[in-house]
Amino acid sequence: MLLAKTSSAEIDALLHPARAFSHPMDVVRDDDLTLYEKRAILSSWASDACAVPDLPALRQPSGAALVKFDDIMDALRSLDAKQQERAAAPAPRIGRRSTTRGSGQTPPL
């Protein structure tokens, strides 16, 4: 069962990101989270920010700073940009070198 392997702190961070992170970009910078976990956390945070537009304090944990919806969206855009950079990066080449070591000449085919 997946939940058995997930700690209560990790679940709390997902359900209440403002308790675990002080700013949405902290989520983006966290190297221990996968892209999908980051998206889930930021989406949960966005949901909290929009749940009661006229009364955001209803979904804001006590003691946590109020985070602007625009900051959450900026963090999601940053994740999108990082994902596009990774997709556009050329894959490392694996194989023989095209020149003979030290001679500067291309080996015969």
Q: Where along the chain do its domains lie? A: 7-87
Query: Does residue 76 carry a pLDDT above 70?
Result: yes
Confidence class for position 94, pLDDT limits 50, 70, 90: confident
Cβ contact 16:59 at 8 Å: no
Helix axes 35-51, 8-15, angle to 10 degrees: 50
Mean pLDDT of the chain: 75
Give the model's pLDDT for residue 58: 56
**pTM summary value:** 0.59
Q: What is the percent of the chain where pLDDT is above 70?
A: 60
List the Cα angle 27/32/58 in 5-degree steps.
35
Asked if residue 67 lies in contact with residue 45, where contact means CB atoms within 8 angstroms, the answer is yes
